[in-house]
């Protein structure tokens, strides 16, 4: 149903105001999520260090070191997610590379946990994890390649992102 001519400007302003409100609400939620993730990463790191010294007294240094490495890699994953939130806040669009890196670190973390276990490693599980590494690396290379091609074909967009 067509709107009367006088109402079109009012509707456009309402849509613009709604978009502005939603954008700022999204930014606020992203900031809160980022802060929670930073606090969680800090708590996990401190807890990992405390547990490391406690584990060294109870078990071997190797076991304590593997547990600390596992916690540090989890902290790295959390920090990468925070980095993704920051990029999302700055660019107002989703960037794929940090997600791929988080996935890659998560797979490497899982491989270290599987290989550090006391039992035998199931070959299919290890093969799947190694294949996932290749997929994540290929995805990272592909995204970077397409990103460079897109920026080269759109010089105005590339200049806007730089400034």
Write the DSSP string, 32-89. Answer: HHHHHHHHHHHHHHHHHHHHHHHHHHHS-HHHHHHHHHHHHHHHHHHHHHHHHHHHHH
What's the DSSP call for residue 1? Answer: -
**Separation of alpha carbons 67 and 62, rounded Å:** 9
The pTM score is 0.68
Within a 10 A sphere around the Cβ of 12, how many other Cβ atoms?
A: 10
- Measure the CA–CA gap between 99 and 103, rounded to whole angstroms: 6
From first to last of its 163 residues, the chain has per-residue pLDDT tens of 454 555 677 788 888 888 889 888 888 888 899 899 999 999 999 999 999 999 999 988 888 888 898 899 899 989 988 988 888 778 777 778 888 988 998 998 888 878 876 567 788 988 999 999 999 999 999 998 988 888 788 765 545 544 4
The pLDDT of residue 39: 96
Pair 82, 38: CB distance under 8 Å:
yes
Q: Residue 6 has what pLDDT?
A: 54
> What pLDDT does residue 1 have?
46
């Amino acid at each position: 149903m067509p709107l009367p001519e006088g109402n079109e400007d009012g509707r456009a302003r309402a849509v613009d105001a709604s978009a502005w409100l939603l954008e700022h609400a999204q930014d606020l939620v992203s900031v809160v999520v980022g802060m929670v993730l930073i606090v969680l990463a800090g708590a996990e790191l401190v807890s990992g260090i405390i547990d490391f010294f406690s584990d060294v007294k109870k078990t071997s240094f190797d076991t304590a070191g593997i547990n600390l490495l596992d916690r540090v890699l989890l902290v790295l994953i959390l920090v990468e997610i925070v980095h993704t939130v920051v990029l999302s806040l700055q660019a107002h669009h989703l960037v794929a590379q940090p997600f791929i890196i988080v996935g890659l670190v998560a797979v490497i973390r899982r491989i270290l946990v599987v290989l550090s276990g006391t039992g035998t490693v199931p070959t299919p599980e290890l093969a799947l994890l190694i294949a996932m590494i290749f997929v994540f690396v290929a995805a990272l290379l592909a995204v970077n390649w397409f990103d460079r091609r897109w920026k080269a074909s759109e010089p105005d967009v590339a200049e806007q992102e730089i400034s």
